[in-house]
Amino acid sequence: MKRILDLILAAAGLIVLAPFLAAIALAIKLTSRGPVFYRGERIGRNGVPFRMFKFRTMVINAEQIGGSSTPDDDPRLTRVGKFLRRYKLDELPQLINVVNGEMSMVGPRPQVGWVVERYTPEERLVLTVRPGITDYASLKFHNEGEILRGSKNPDEDYFRLIHPTKMRLSLEYVKNASVFTDVKIILRTLLAILK
């Protein structure tokens, strides 16, 4: 049932949002050098790596310049990228990952390799489900970039300040997952976007 819901919502989202997605792609191409999409490696279900689609919000060599965590004042962000991140619009291409079966609409946010390597045995429970576009942690930490603003080491500050609560919420989701919970989180996410 969850997979059917994912496919219906993701496919409908891509169709309905197609003109909007095209406009964002054009804005990225016209204002900065590089590809429209960023395809960063993340760790998915059962620890299998996959490439997660996002609209590119940084300069093309961002991974060589800094870490994987991004404060709001990160100098690697492009002008359009700052706007996209503020409203979470850079995440919309992950609907493609949902259609491909690599992600779900709702589930623990996929992490980069160095974070997963530091998981405790209990925390590895989150790898038993497909990672998602949104979840309880995404709703709570919608201002993650603001929390990390001014950080001299965003990756370590992320792991110290944000990761523990995010992981607690992710484990709560995994242990109590249901279609009803997914629908509730999707509705809360849509309300948060509209606000």
pLDDT in tens, 39-51: 999 999 999 999 9
Alpha carbons 113 and 117: distance in angstroms, whole number:
6
Tell me how many domains the chain contains.
1
pLDDT of residue 92: 97
pLDDT range class, residue 1, cuts 50, 70, 90: confident
What is the pLDDT averaged over residues 124-153?
A: 95
Closest CA to 65 of 53, 55, 78: 78
pLDDT of residue 64: 85
Residue 120 has pLDDT above 80, yes or no: yes
Containing domain of residue 130, as a range?
Answer: 2-194
The residue type at 126: V
What is the pLDDT averaged over residues 45-59?
A: 97
Give the number of other Cβ atoms within 10 Å of residue 17's Cβ: 15
